[in-house]
Amino acid sequence: MSLKFRLTVMNFLQFFVWGAWLISLGGYMGQTFGPIEGGSIGLSIGRTYGSMGWASLFMPALLGIIADKYFSAQKVLGISHIVAGIAIYFASKATNSSEMYWIIFATSCFYMPTIALNNSVSYALLNKFNYDVQKTFTPIRVWGTVGFILAMWITDLTDWKSGSTQFIFASVAMIITGLFCFTLPDVPAENKNTNQSLSSKFGLDSFVLFKQKKLAIFFVFAMLLGAALQITNMFGDTFIRDFGSNPEYKGTFGVEHSVFIISLSQISETLFILTIPFFLKRFGIKQVMIFSMIAWVLRFGLFGIGNPGSGVIFLILSMIVYGMAFDFFNISGSLFVEKETDSKMRSSAQGLFMLMTNGVGAILGGEFAGRTVSYFTIENKVQWSSVWFSFAGYALVIAILFALIFKYKHNPDEVANVSH
């Protein structure tokens, strides 16, 4: 079995195990705990997804230190997957939202670091066996998205999304993934950066970048937009499933296969990545970021007017624009950080960018989204149009403020040859 094939399998499994439950979790909680908890279920779902943000604040750095100094990286990756697999199993036994919160938090503490560890192991092995990393890794990583989508389809088409079987499925897949990691070539700990302070190892030194006005403004907006990134993961499935209570939509393809419909977002994400070099060359980094924010307005607004019946086209259009909304900010933002920071700080700066979006932003987004859904829940019935239009208004305000406040000019030709 060639190294490229083994890494392809690894990346496929890495995201397959996440797709098995991430999108359907919110719908499951709403369906299972909603009748018991009433109007507070929205906030419970938001906070449960926000727990992934809390885990992302410290666990990736902690396990990264362990992989750097003490144990082979592929073994740390494998053990993390196995522990996460054991943790997610208990989600099938959760009897209320409070229990689910702590189970997802425990799972995330060990799963979220594997995303970065998977990349590190892949890069290290490709370098070790003399592959061109930039050229070789991209087609390998694409299979991660394929794995995520396929897991969503399996969960949806088997209807495991409606019950606790999805968590047992995810648990088995995570443990298999963990065991597979032990078959990879060794990536030994190098005991490197031993003179770094603890704050450096956790990336806290990068907060000095807030002294630069341009970077400080960017990171604040990254946090604000990061709050939007997980909203449709939290409530997209719940929203579409909820139409099933209306006789007009009950039994429609959209209601019965809500996760399959949402998977179009991931397909769109894969396709929009291919357009980024064109947009960056034609418009530049700031404009591409603004396009992303406008796409978020459309993403939420189209949800607000869509339904699984005659309005299904609006749901599909929302899935299509998601690719632009998600990819354009993440990649153009990463490029901005790369260009505007000193080479000695770039890794820390990229870590800070991810912390502000997927850490702090996700926490705030979970709380904000959960409270919004609870606010618009009247007699245990969510007023979904009001919810989505509120999110659309939030994204629009961010887009306008960003366009006015963030002052940045660059030559688009500088990124003409970018590839991701």
1-187 adopts what CATH topology?
Growth Hormone; Chain: A; (1.20.1250)
Express as a percent the part of the chain with pLDDT over 90.
61
* Pair 223, 356: CB distance under 8 Å: yes
205-420 adopts what CATH topology?
Growth Hormone; Chain: A; (1.20.1250)
pLDDT at site 210: 83
Distances (CA, A) of 338 to 280, 342, 345, 403: 14, 8, 9, 21
pLDDT at site 199: 60
pLDDT at site 347: 63
| Exposure letters 211-227 (e unless 16+ CB within 10 A, then b) | eeeebebbbbbbbbbbb
Name 382's bridge partners: 377
Q: Nearest-CA neighbor of 227 among 357, 347, 326, 101?
A: 357
Q: Residue 207 carries which side chain, given as an amino acid letter?
A: F
* Pair 167, 88: CB distance under 8 Å: yes
Name 381's bridge partners: 378
Name 378's bridge partners: 381
Q: Which two tokens stand for residue 25?
A: 């979790």
Tell me the pLDDT tens digit for each residue of 253-262. Answer: 999 999 999 9
Q: Which residues contact 292 (CB under 8 A, 6 or more apart)?
A: 225, 324, 325, 326, 327, 328, 329, 332
* Residue spans in the chain of domains classed CATH 1.20.1250.20: 1-187, 205-420
Low-confidence residues of the chain: pLDDT under 50: 419-420
Q: Which two tokens stand for residue 382?
A: 């969510």
Q: What is the rounded distance in angstroms from the CA atom of residue 284 to the CA atom of residue 219?
A: 18
Q: Nearest-CA neighbor of 174 among 151, 153, 157?
A: 151
pLDDT at site 334: 82
The full DSSP string for 355-412 is: IIIIIIIHHHHHHHHHHHHHHTEETTEE-HHHHHHHHHHHHHHHHHHHHHH------G
pLDDT at site 413: 61
pLDDT at site 81: 97
* Pair 171, 107: CB distance under 8 Å: no
Q: Which residues contact 184 (CB under 8 A, 6 or more apart)?
A: 6, 7, 10, 74, 121, 125
pLDDT at site 419: 47
pTM here is 0.88
